[in-house]
């Protein structure tokens, strides 16, 4: 990307002294907000785009109307989802209001981004089993099984380190999950033993799921050596590619199947087993329980129980009440 910001510069923030002072200070602003590296990159990208859109060297030169027109132009001409548009508004608001101190701008109060949240794709237990049965590579089978077993995001699963599993307490620690939050999730002894067996196949000193990278055969030879010496975790793209092959092999046609569907399935199946909503919120790492409540709409067992309870209540209350008030027939009629 051209202009005053190149996302590659984020990898070496010590070079920011050569940037305009506003940009160097903006780096400090978003770092102090404890935003994730990906969010920092996205914020810089949006601030860069508003400058490029108006053809200025630095976005601090733009006024309220110019920023407002850019937001309107992007909303009307780009087929972005509400979440992406909301990220754009947040990025520009942080730069102009929080960083530059332009508190008098009224444009932020005029913007309403409609975010449509479709119901997540949930697989039945049989469908999850069918998917995992079609994983041919051991490391992908292990990571996909753990995603479902603990309801992890794909990126969280890839970054799991050997020391993150507390076998004695039966928990898996997720460090620096979404939003930089830590959490603990129950893990069964059987899964711990399965992962331990998998780890003995590579014995990487740090990562449970090390990545081999490109050209690993030429560099290392056997996969076992490549995995043991790897200094990086497995990539999300490789897991997603493995998932696509599983979907094709299992011939499942349900729309929206992806790695994240395993997380949704974990949540739904736990609710069906009677796990409380508060517990599930903690396991998933949701800040707001409203986010967790969406799974209440997806639990087949709960809906079945609700229908049964509704029928019992009808029989016990409404039907019996109707019988009591039924008019008695007079003799001879």
Q: Which entry of 149, 153, 159, 202 is annotated as an active-site residue?
A: 153
Q: Which of 49, 99, 139, 263 is catalytic?
A: 263
- CA pair distance 225, 222, nearest whole angstrom: 6
Catalytic hit among 53, 93, 173, 260: 260
Q: Is 262 helix (H, G, I), strand (E, B) or coil?
A: helix
The CA distance from 72 to 51, in Å, is 15
**260 in catalytic set:** yes
Exposure on the CB side of residue 47, measured as CA atoms within 13 A: 30
295 assigned to active site = yes
* Catalytic site residue from 99, 159, 183, 286: 286
Active site (annotated) includes residue 106 = no
Neighbours of 318 (CB within 10 A): 10
* Rounded CA separation 324/97 (Å): 69
Q: Using alpha carbons only, how large is the chain's radius of gyration in Å? A: 27
- The side-by-side arrangement of strands in the sheet containing 165-166 is 165-166, 171-174, 183-186
Known active-site residue 115: no
Which residue out of 134, 178, 194, 228 is catalytically annotated? 178
> In angstroms, rounded to a whole number, what is the distance separating the alpha carbons of residues 154 and 260?
7
Count of CB atoms situated within 10 Å of the CB of 138: 13
| 286 is a catalytic site residue | yes
**What percent helix, strand, coil does the chain show, rounded to 5?**
60, 5, 35
Of 229, 81, 208, the closest CA to residue 152 belongs to 208
Q: Is 97 a catalytic residue?
A: no
Enumerate the active-site residues: 153, 178, 260, 263, 286, 295
């Amino acid at each position: 990307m051209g202009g005053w910001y190149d996302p590659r510069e984020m990898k070496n923030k010590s070079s920011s002294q050569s940037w305009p002072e506003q940009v160097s200070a903006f780096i400090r602003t978003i770092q102090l907000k404890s935003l994730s590296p990906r969010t920092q990159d996205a914020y810089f990208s949006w601030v860069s785009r508003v400058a490029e859109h108006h053809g200025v060297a630095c976005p601090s030169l733009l006024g309220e109307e110019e920023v407002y027109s850019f937001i309107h132009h992007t909303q009307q001409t780009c087929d972005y989802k509400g979440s992406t548009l909301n990220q754009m508004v947040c990025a520009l608001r942080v730069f102009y209001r929080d960083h530059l101190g332009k508190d008098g701008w009224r444009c932020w109060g005029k913007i309403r981004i409609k975010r449509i949240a479709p119901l997540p794709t949930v697989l039945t237990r049989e469908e999850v089993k069918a998917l995992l049965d079609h994983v041919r590579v051991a490391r992908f089978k292990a990571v996909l099984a753990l995603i479902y077993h603990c309801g992890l995001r794909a990126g969280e699963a890839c970054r799991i380190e050997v020391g993150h599993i507390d076998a004695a307490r039966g928990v898996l620690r997720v460090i620096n999950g979404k939003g930089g939050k830590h959490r603990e999730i129950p893990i069964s002894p059987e899964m711990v033993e399965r992962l331990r067996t998998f780890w003995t196949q590579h014995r990487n000193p740090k990562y449970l799921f090390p990545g081999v990278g490109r050209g690993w055969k030429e560099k290392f030879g056997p996969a076992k050596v490549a995995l043991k010496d790897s200094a990086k975790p497995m990539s999300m793209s490789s897991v997603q590619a493995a998932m696509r092959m599983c979907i094709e092999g299992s011939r499942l046609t349900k729309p929206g199947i992806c790695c994240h569907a395993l997380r949704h399935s974990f949540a739904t199946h736990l609710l069906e087993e009677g796990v409380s909503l508060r517990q599930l919120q903690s396991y998933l790492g949701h800040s707001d329980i409203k986010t967790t409540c969406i799974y209440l709409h997806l639990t087949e067992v709960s809906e079945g129980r609700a229908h049964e309870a509704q029928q019992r209540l009808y029989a016990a209350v409404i039907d019996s009440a109707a019988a009591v008030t039924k008019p008695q027939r007079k003799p001879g009629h």
